[in-house]
Amino acid sequence: MNDIALYPLRFEPIYEYRLWGGRRLGNLLSAALPGDGPIGEAWVLSDRDEHPSIVATGALAGSTLRQLLQQSPARMLGRLDGSFKRFPLLLKFLDVSERLSVQVHPSDAHPELLSGGDSGKDEAWVVIEQGPAARIYAGLQPTASKGVLRQSIASGSLPQQLASFAPDSGDSVFIPAGTVHALRDVVVFEVQQNSDVTFRLFDWNHVDPKTGQPRPLQVEQAMACIDFSQGAVGPGTPLTQQTRPVLREQLVKSEHFDVTRITGQVPFDVGTADAPRVLVGLSGSLQLQHDGVDYPVAKGDVLLLAAELGACSCRPNGVGSVLEIALPP
């Protein structure tokens, strides 16, 4: 790899069967969906042993993200080299056609609930598409004490204790670890810490057609990591950073990742010197320019800009919109 010039890296999506999924990701991503069953997740940037992202195009095609980080960590991570044992974010598209289980993720304050080198898991969603039954469940009602929650789980009335709202396209929602949450009838882009620890409280009485059985719950682990001081969570209010020549809106700013939306019809810069960035196409058609080469960016496209690339110019064809995801310094 050290003999190969780095370029904007596009990875093959890793599709995951989920009983609550649908087929809408086939309209969003260029790679065809497998089979004819429900696909709930497309992992588009993953540095995990069980699901390693593989470069899809260019001279590095076939290499995994892990291999690139191991062979050239400074070129990939810049000033963040040495800060992480693996790439610290996991990025996905979710198609939640049926209800996602009511669940919670632990924070780093609960090491006894973490395993396999996983960290806690803060996450954020950006709504790409919503159906007529769309709903985001995030946080608890003010009356939902630990005792009330246990009683509602036992009686099957847990949904009554959840705060929720009907989302619109473009909404962003930050879900800190410890927040009870679920989704319904939406397609979202998900940014999260590189962790796969989830505890289910309630699964809407789903039966997995592959097994004929309900999926297991992890009530005690979930109860141990719920932040009962976390009230209702609604859509975030974008923070306008720039209006001309393009609109830059900070959607999420957290300890582990920042998410900015850029919208415009004139060229603008993305990426930065000495740190990696991720670019996600939201709407329109754009050309990302690096080293004299144009890389197309359409809705659903995800590109990793290694630290060595620095700033790149992005040229919309008409009006285009992208997400830029940064790791805090």
Q: Give residue 225's pLDDT.
A: 95
CB within 8 Å of 122: residues ≥ 6 apart = 105, 107, 174, 175, 176, 177, 192, 193, 254, 255, 256, 257
Phi, psi for 41 (deg, rounded to 5)? -135, 145
289 burial class (0-12, 13-18, 19+ CB within 10 angstroms)? middle
Q: If you compute the radius of gyration of the chain from its CA atoms, what whole number of angstroms results? A: 20
Cβ pair 246, 266 in contact under 8 A: yes
Q: What is the CATH number of domain 239-326?
A: 2.60.120.10
Which pLDDT belongs to residue 2? 72
Q: What is the pLDDT of residue 315?
A: 97
pLDDT at 3: 84
Classified by CATH at the fold level, domain 9-225 comes out as Jelly Rolls (2.60.120)
Q: What is the mean pLDDT of each run of 10 residues along the chain (329 residues)?
A: 89 96 96 95 96 97 97 96 94 97 94 87 98 98 94 94 98 98 98 96 91 94 94 97 97 97 98 97 97 96 97 97 94
Domain boundaries for CATH 2.60.120.10 within the chain: 9-225, 239-326
Residue in the block written with tokens 């879900």? 175
